[in-house]
């Protein structure tokens, strides 16, 4: 079964609320991108436009939008993920995605400290050798391959090398969840599934539509 997951790069907490409000009745999981302006070129909330909302989440004074109806997966596109995982766990994240490119030591520490509390996934760019993932395959159950090396922004095209990367990864990790993020659209989605992906992270092809819920249903049918 293929899981369709909307992706949001929030400009502010209000922006997050608005966008989650459009999709929470259609899916069980949303992935929220955290961009620090260092690991990637742009910034997202709470690195910008935060007016105390994130502090309240961390202190458990408030909850993530519709947290009772939908689970949150936080994709850390940041230079210092080790400094941020704890806050997101307290804020209510059920899963955290960390980039292998931030360093093996940081990833090892995060898995050791938080792997029993939330699901830790590993993300990597297409040009990163898959061999870098090998030491971690027994420690995580989800791998997320980015569809393009230009990460942190939606609307990028899928690099054709991704299909071969998925096939190679599926041979190495037949029981793992393999997710693809960036470049997933109505044309590429069935091809990605055929290559071996079973989780599709979709940003603009869902969130930029007039009716995101209907777009989700279309992707679910396309990948049956």
Q: What is the pLDDT of residues 169-224, one digit of tens each?
A: 999 999 999 999 999 999 999 999 999 999 999 999 999 999 999 999 999 999 98
pLDDT mean over 157-165: 96
Residues in the chain: 224
Give tens-digit pLDDT for 109-149. 999 999 999 999 999 999 999 999 999 999 999 999 999 98
CATH number assigned to the domain comprising residue 125: 3.20.20.70
Does residue 153 have a pLDDT over 90? no
Instruction: Please state the separation of Cα 214 from the chain's center in Å.
Output: 21
Domain count, the chain: 1
Question: In which band, very low, low, confident or very high, does the pLDDT at 155 lie, cut at 50, 70 and 90?
Answer: confident
From the number of C-beta atoms within 10 Å of its C-beta (0-12, 13-18, 19+), residue 19 rates as buried
d(CA 18, CA 49) in angstroms, rounded, equals: 15
Q: Which two tokens stand for residue 47?
A: 């690195």
Q: What is the pTM of this model?
A: 0.95
Q: Which residues make Cβ contacts (< 8 Å) with residue 166, sequence separation at least 6?
A: 145, 178, 180, 192, 195, 196, 197
Q: Please give the helix or strand (H or E) that residue 73 lies within, else none.
A: strand 71-77
Domain encompassing residue 50: 3-222
Q: Half-sphere exposure of 194 toward its Cβ, with a 13 Å CA cutoff? A: 7
């Amino acid at each position: 079964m293929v899981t369709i997951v909307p992706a949001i790069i929030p400009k502010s907490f209000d922006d997050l609320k608005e966008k989650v409000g459009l999709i929470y009745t259609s899916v069980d999981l949303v992935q929220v991108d955290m961009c620090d302006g260092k690991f990637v070129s742009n910034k997202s909330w709470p690195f910008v436009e935060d007016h105390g909302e994130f502090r309240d989440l961390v202190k458990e004074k408030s909850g993530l939008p519709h947290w009772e109806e939908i689970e949150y997966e936080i994709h850390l596109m940041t230079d210092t993920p080790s400094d941020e995982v704890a806050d997101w766990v307290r804020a209510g994240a059920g899963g955290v995605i960390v980039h292998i490119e931030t360093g093996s030591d940081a990833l090892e520490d995060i898995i050791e400290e938080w792997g029993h509390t939330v699901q830790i996934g590993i993300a990597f760019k297409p040009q990163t050798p898959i061999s870098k993932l090998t030491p971690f395959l027994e420690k995580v159950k989800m791998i997320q391959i980015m569809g393009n090396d230009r990460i942190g922004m939606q609307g990028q095209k899928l690099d054709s090398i991704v299909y071969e990367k998925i096939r190679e990864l599926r041979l190495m990790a037949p029981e793992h969840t393999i997710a693809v993020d960036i470049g997933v659209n109505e044309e590429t989605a069935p091809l990605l599934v055929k290559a071996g992906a079973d989780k599709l992270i979709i940003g603009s092809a869902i969130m930029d539509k007039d009716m995101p819920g209907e777009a989700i249903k279309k992707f679910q049918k396309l990948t049956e």
